[in-house]
Structure 1
Amino acid sequence: MTRVVAQGTFDILHPGHVHYLEEAAELGDDLHVIVSRTPNVTHKPGPVIPDRQRTEMVAALAPVDEAHLGHPDDIFVPIEKISPDVIVLGHDQHHDTDALEAELDRRGIDCDLHRASARTPQFDGELLSTRDIIDRILEERPRD
């Protein structure tokens, strides 16, 4: 059995997230998704949706076998527990793959890294990022 790990913030779910997780699920038999805790999201604005709610929403998606809330201090702790064969990074995730591979080696985690593809928009105006969804909401529903 091939165990796959995907991870991300998954703030406001959108078709780009589903594409990423479907592609990750195709690489194995068992997809585990690690949802980042709010304080650990430092490379972009923090999520709007609470940690537990994001984890529950990800768990409800068809490609996902298990969803886990990330560790508060060490992103590798859940990876060590899951012991994946493959880790799939989102097409736009900021991870340095060389540094990630080095840390996996240091911890004795033997798995492959794979970078997912971007979803091609299916129609004009399709929103494929949380930031785009938030911007559209602010445009369409300005505060009084």
Structure 2
Amino acid sequence: MVLAQGTFDLIHPGHLHYLSEAARHGDTLHVVVARRENVTHKPTPVCPDRQRRDVLDALSVVDEAHVGHPDDYFVPVERIDPDVIVLGFDQHHDADAIREQLRERGLDCEVTRATGREPAYDGEILSTNEIVDRLVERRERDGE
């Protein structure tokens, strides 16, 4: 069983790469969606927690999507009890700190990091923030 996690505000090809790579680490992929109030390292998600979870749950690569715990990242990890946690290649999480927390909680789980992905063609967007920025720029330019 594999666990991936993230904000997943607007799903883009970088997310699909991450989730597909994570899924290759086991038979079942669980994804934990960060709660809006817990996202402090970047802009707050536009979409509600449940919506982001529901979109991920609809992806064929994802077996089950969950909304994270309001106070403790490790509560869903303990409940899911994965064999592997796959971090996104650019996520701010410290893999060694996660390993230490897992040991302290008695969880035997490998922690690895997904590879990055370059755009497959000119103009492909692999960043939620870049998608939002382009939308805002276009709407301001077009007077919408």
TM-score by length of 2: 0.96
Aligned letter for 1:109? L
Give the Cα separation in 1 of the matches to 2:4 and 2:95.
14
Name the Cα RMSD after superposition.
0.9
Which of 54, 57, 75 aligns to 1:56? It is 54
Unpaired stretches in structure 2, ≥5 consecutive residues: none
Give the Cα separation in 2 of the matches to 1:63 and 1:25.
7
Give the Cα separation in 1 of the matches to 2:58 and 2:91.
22
Aligned letter for 2:59? L
Give the Cα separation in 1 of the matches to 2:70 and 2:98.
18
Determine helix, strand or coil for the equivalent of 2:129.
helix
Unpaired stretches in structure 1, ≥5 consecutive residues: none
Q: Which residue of 1 aligns with 2:21?
A: 23
The answer to whether the 8 A contact 2:95-2:112 is kept is no
Give the Cα separation in 2 of the matches to 1:97 and 1:65.
24
For residues 12-36 of structure 1, give each alpha carbon's deviation from its aligned partner in whole angstroms, at most 9, with x where no partner exists: 1100001000000011000000000
Q: Which residue of 2 aligns with 1:95?
A: 93
Q: Percent identity?
A: 62
- 1:120, distance to aligned residue in structure 2 (A): 1.9
TM-score by length of 1: 0.96
- Mapping for residues 32-111 of structure 1, pairs under 5 Å: 32-111=30-109
Give the Cα separation in 2 of the matches to 1:33 and 1:87.
10
Determine helix, strand or coil for the equivalent of 1:141.
helix
